[in-house]
Amino acid sequence: MTAITCAQLVELVTDYLEGELDELTARRFEEHLALCSGCRTYVDQFRQVIQAAGQVAEDDLSWQARTHLLAAFRGWRER
Amino acid sequence: MLRLARLHVSSGSAAEDVLQETWMAVLGGLHRFEGRARLRTWVFQILLNVARTQGVKDRRTVPFSALTADLDAGPTVDSARFQGPQEPFPGGWRQFPAPWTSPEDAALSGEAERVIREAIMQLPERQRVVIALRDVDGCKPQEVCEILGLSPGNQRVLLHRACAFVRQQVEGYFSRRHAARTERT
């Protein structure tokens, strides 16, 4: 297998991050990253997106939702 | 869970209703839970059912089965950003993606978070649900497959397309901001 291009690498990012690339492709992926700062930026931004999407979640249950839920649980216990 | 519900209905209070209805269904059906799936997986399945029913009523959501376009092949990065076969480095970047973070904003925050949220809302439903379960609710890949009845390969394709789209939206935001700043100086 020959080296992978930038256009190919961007389609492999998720498989790489999930550890689903076969050993040879994963090695080619890492070799490419070591040499190409453009792709390093791309992969880094992909990671940032994943991390930030997780943080979006942290606006937790609102106070109102908690009250509703507690009421629902109480109703259940009393049955 | 509230976040996941919120992706399907038009308001925060509708999402809270979905959540409450979900817990009622969970508590009401607990005696039928057979332990074949993990409890968490089962709860998510119920939540998605309730949220979808509500979303269809809101006309926010298209029925899940009606969507096929989001698994389409095709590059996730515009092929015009890479060099063609006649150029010195076929398949190489024409211009490297610009880094986002400058010393003044060490991490994606504030407004970028809003851009991400909006981008997630624009995704086709299956991509939206996969990215929400994986990154927003922190489910494992296998769990997402179980909840949505997806193969591991399709789950990754949906996640990849979702992340690539969100990345592209954030990139657009940063380049617009950069352009605005350059104009001012």
Can you tell me the distance from the alpha carbon of A54 to that of B133, in angstroms, rounded to the nearest whole number? 9
Rg (CA), chain B: 20
Which residues pair with residue B82 across a beta bridge? B93
ipTM of the complex: 0.73
Which tokens sit at B175? 């380049």
Which of A22-26, B8-12, B110-114, B124-128 is predicted with the least confidence, judged by mean pLDDT?
A: B8-12
pLDDT value at residue A68: 54
Render pLDDT for B130-141 as a digit per residue (tens, 0 to 9): 888 887 677 889
Give the nearest chain A residue to B89 (CA atoms).
A5
Which are the contacts of B2, defined by CB distance < 8 A and separation ≥ 6? Answer: A60, A61, A62, A65, B15, B16, B19
The secondary structure of chain B, three-state, reads CHHHHHCCCCCHHHHHHHHHHHHHHHHHHHHHCCCCCCHHHHHHHHHHHHHHHHHHHCCCCCCHHHCCHHHCCCCCCCHHHECCCCCCCCCCECCCCCCCCCCCCCCCCCHHHHHHHHHHHHCCHHHHHHHHHHHHCCCCHHHHHHHHCCCHHHHHHHHHHHHHHHHHHHHHHHHHHHHHHHHHC
Average pLDDT over residues B165-173: 93
Q: Identify all chain A residues contacting B46, using CB atoms and an 8 Å cutoff.
A: none
Say what angle helices A23-35 and A6-17 make with each other, to 10 degrees: 120
Q: Which of the residues B21, B108, B170 would you substitute to probe the A interface, choosing the one with the greatest number of A C-beta atoms within 10 Å?
A: B108
Render pLDDT for B64-121 as a digit per residue (tens, 0 to 9): 444 445 556 688 999 999 999 999 999 999 999 998 865 455 556 677 888 888 888 8
Per-residue confidence band for A62, with pLDDT thresholds at 50, 70 and 90: very low
- Please, what are the domains in chain A? 6-78 (1.10.10)
Can you tell me the distance from the alpha carbon of B81 to that of A40, in angstroms, rounded to the nearest whole number? 16
Cβ of A78 under 8 Å from any chain B Cβ? no
CB atoms B97 and A18 under 8 Å: no
DSSP character string of A20-34: -S-HHHHHHHHHHHH
Render pLDDT for B45-58 as a digit per residue (tens, 0 to 9): 888 888 877 776 66
Other CB atoms within a 10 A radius of the CB of residue B36 amount to 7
CB atoms B16 and A62 under 8 Å: yes
- Tokens 């990345």, residue located: B167
Give the nearest chain B residue to A75 (CA atoms).
B24
pLDDT value at residue B6: 74
Average pLDDT value over all residues in chain B: 79
Q: Identify all chain A residues contacting B159, using CB atoms and an 8 Å cutoff.
A: 14
Average pLDDT over residues A38-45: 95
- Please, what are the domains in chain B? 1-61 (no CATH), 64-185 (1.10.10.10)
Q: Which of B91, B98, B82 is nearest to B176 (CA)?
A: B98
Cβ of A64 under 8 Å from any chain B Cβ? yes
Which of A61-70, B4-13, B57-66, B151-160 is predicted with the least confidence, judged by mean pLDDT?
A: A61-70
- Tokens 């649900």, residue located: B129
**Would the pLDDT of A4 be above 70?**
yes
Per-residue confidence band for B127, with pLDDT thresholds at 50, 70 and 90: confident
